[in-house]
Amino acid sequence: MFKTNKYFDGKVKSLSYLTPEGLATIGVMARGEYAFLPTSVEHMTIISGTMDVLMPGEESWKSYKEFETFIAVADTEFRVRVEEDTAYRCYYR
């Protein structure tokens, strides 16, 4: 069944579900900057809006817009910032 998730005082919310490929979430982020420490590899695709991402070891932020995907490494913190409410889909591997 579905599971709802709430982070950062409700500024990030997601709905978890199972796909034939494994666990996935559909979520939204309110304007702000957030740090995540994934426990598995995450393939995150922007559904609407724009997300700036700072990966470990990088000095500059990279922007991702609708239908673009980035991959976050397990057990490695990355940062995101959004200037407007932004929706995403995430597959966990």
Here the CATH number for the domain that contains residue 21 is: 2.60.120.10
Number of domains in the chain: 1
Residue 39: how many CB atoms within 10 A of its CB? 8
Q: Quote the tokens at residue 6.
A: 């709430």
Q: How much is the pTM?
A: 0.91
Query: What amino acid is encoded at 35 in this protein?
Result: A
Give whole-number Cα distances, 86 to 22, 51, 75, 76, in Å.
23, 7, 24, 22
26-76 confidence digits (pLDDT tens): 999 999 999 999 999 999 999 999 999 999 999 999 999 999 999 999 999
Question: What is the domain range of residue 26?
Answer: 3-92
